[in-house]
Amino acid sequence: MSLPASVMVAPPGWRERIDRWLTDPRLYRWALGNPVGRWITRRRAERLFGLMAGFVHSQVLLGCVRLGLLQAVFERPQTLAELAQRSRMDPDALERLLASAVALQLMDARSGDRFGLGPLGAPLVAHEGLRAMVEHNALLYEDLRDPLSLLHAPEQTSMHAYWPYAAREQQLRQHRQSAEQVARYSHLMASSQRFLIEELRASYPFEQHRRVLDVGGGQGGWVSELARHAPGLQIDLFDLPPVAALAREKIAQAGLAARITVHGGSFITDALPRGADLVTLLRVAHDHSDEVVRQLLAAIHAALEPGGALLLAEPMAQADGRPAAADAYYHFYLRAMGEGRLRTVARLQALMAEAGFERIERLPNPLSLHACLVRGRKPGAA
């Protein structure tokens, strides 16, 4: 008599036999007793400890950023007593934070019992955008206190309220955002955009184009850089009306109003301005569902000149050269935010092909941790 399918268990394959061998307590004991086994076990234990302790590490970073400790020791190395007085902290408590910061290479120990800037602290001092992201992540980590409820009910997260345009109901109906909400996220984006701008400038010859449209361009940091860097270009920016109003103000303050035209509208309901031979789409597609990305790519395709190109830049999953662990951050971040998702290069290429783009290719860039670049062309003569 044959067993019903539900109770038939396939015999373990070689991978499963390795799993059992790896979890056998006798292997652990044996591995500790010889140099190669010890080396492998130590590396694995350290990596796993890193996963378990990751939250503590993020909180050490947040503590240092909130107290302005990294800037303080950058100005001049200081003792515990000096830093405690400056931050109005109990020295015994602060010492634990400082010792943790040294262990994580945010700070280092200098002569005379002073604390100085560590190798991982230096970029945080150099980039205001990084400090802003550390502070912003505190919101995500509050939502992540219970990772399963975040996965089950993302609409209840604080991140969801932070990013009003990313919610399903907002995407499909008219956008309702308070001026304060818009200014808050637009400022964060502007301050964290610096790294992306460096990637774009190092990787793409923008001067070969005539007219560039930046869709979802935020406060206009990227288009302002482009206007200065490529004086021959005509430039347009498109974003939701309240963001466009902020961009107009910033661009005028930078003296670039004659070079950049700002358009307010939603790419879900409004047509995009026509005439560009290059559209840039930076950190926008990953905020949205496939349904909205399809609409957006179709709108870009319709707006582009024949032979024109779309350059899409954002973090992409499983991309060569990107630390795989970074994907976990974006999977959760985008879930907490709303309907967006981290997509692979292949998935984005497929969505672009569906919208009618061809000759779609990934372009190399120096630091794919910040973003990967994919370009596709609208058929026709340039």
**Interface with ligand SAM by CB under 6 A: which residues?**
165, 186, 189, 193, 196, 216-218, 239-240, 243, 266-268, 282-284, 287
> Is the Cβ of residue 27 or residue 326 nearer to ligand SAM in the bound state?
326
Cβ atoms within 10 A of the Cβ of 344, count? Answer: 14
C-alpha span between 173 and 186 (Å, rounded): 21
Residue 342 phi/psi, 5-degree rounding, is -80, 125
Cβ atoms within 10 A of the Cβ of 243, count? Answer: 26
Q: What's the chain's Rg over C-alpha atoms?
A: 25
Q: How far is the CB of 288 from ligand SAM (least distance, A)?
A: 7
Q: How far is the CB of 204 from ligand SAM (least distance, A)?
A: 15
> Is the Cβ of residue 227 or residue 284 nearer to ligand SAM in the bound state?
284
> Is the Cβ of residue 268 or residue 373 nearer to ligand SAM in the bound state?
268
> Is the Cβ of residue 91 or residue 366 nearer to ligand SAM in the bound state?
366
DSSP letter assigned to residue 167 = S
Q: How far is the CB of 112 from ligand SAM (least distance, A)?
A: 43
In terms of Cβ atoms closer than 10 Å to its own Cβ (0-12, 13-18, 19+), residue 203 is middle
Q: How far is the CB of 234 from ligand SAM (least distance, A)?
A: 19
Q: How far is the CB of 199 from ligand SAM (least distance, A)?
A: 11
> Is the Cβ of residue 115 or residue 267 nearer to ligand SAM in the bound state?
267
Non-local (6+) Cβ contacts of 218 within 8 A are: 186, 189, 190, 193, 239, 243, 247
Strand order across the beta sheet in which 234-239 lies:
260-264, 234-239, 211-215, 278-282, 309-314, 372-377, 358-363
Where does 120-207 have alpha helices with state H? 122-126, 128-143, 147-152, 158-162, 168-172, 179-192, 194-203
Q: How far is the CB of 153 from ligand SAM (least distance, A)?
A: 23
Cβ atoms within 10 A of the Cβ of 295, count? Answer: 17
The strand pairing partners of 116, in sequence order, are: 108
| Residue number of the CB atom closest to ligand SAM | 216
Q: How far is the CB of 181 from ligand SAM (least distance, A)?
A: 10
> Is the Cβ of residue 266 or residue 344 nearer to ligand SAM in the bound state?
266
> Is the Cβ of residue 236 or residue 287 nearer to ligand SAM in the bound state?
287
C-alpha span between 191 and 262 (Å, rounded): 20
